[in-house]
Amino acid sequence: MKKTKAGHALPAPGRLEEPDDPLAPAPKDAPALNLANHFLIAMPAMQDPVFGGTVVYVCEHNENGVLGVVINKPTDMTMQVLFERIDLEPSATLSPAIVDEPIMFGGPVQDDRGFVLHTPGARYSSSLTVTEDVAFTTSIDVLEAVARGAGPERMLVSIGYSGWSPGQLEDEISRNGWLTVGAQAHILFEVPVEERYFAAMKLLGFDPLMLASEAGHA
């Protein structure tokens, strides 16, 4: 992540066709298929080196495309390292569980910048409320709050995000690249990283191991 002075906003992710305003309201003519607050679950047969084995939480879906965050691909960066890179000094009373929390690889778009999924509450300068349980913030004030011990109750921090141009994700879904299911916030914030793929699969109502065993058969 590029070094950013405390008090300045992290660069926003950018809408796919409006790069200066990633969190603007969706256009009036939104698409019929709206996957906001859904999980995209990579099919077991997907061999893509970036998205194979991933679960993506969709934050926004409108006529400009799709913006989401991979929630189960940790990097070797921790919150402590992130604080150092953006010149924030964490409070001495901050829980080790927060300081040592791994940062997720959110996707290949703007993968030198940080984004935060979290429970709503405090107001931040650049934030989108996805549901009453999940918000998506791109401004550094949320990390300033975390550093002083006043951050969101639950959160997931990523480097980069995942983006699809209009119609691109729909095409991938039609070619059986992804399964989709309504998201549950506890999988984002409470389920261990290594269990999130299977937890999301189970929301579909079947054993994911059965799908994996069938994936290689005609």
The terminus-to-terminus CA distance of the chain in angstroms comes to 43
As a whole number of angstroms, the longest Cα–Cα distance in the chain is 57
- pLDDT tens profile 47-89: 899 999 999 999 999 999 999 999 999 999 999 999 999 999 9
Q: Tell me the whole-structure pTM to 2 decimals.
A: 0.82
Whether 92 shows a pLDDT value over 50: the answer reads yes
Distance CA 1, CA 22 (A): 19
- pLDDT tens profile 147-158: 999 999 999 999
38-214 is a CATH 3.40.1740.10 domain: yes
User: Would you list the domain boundaries of the chain?
Assistant: 38-214
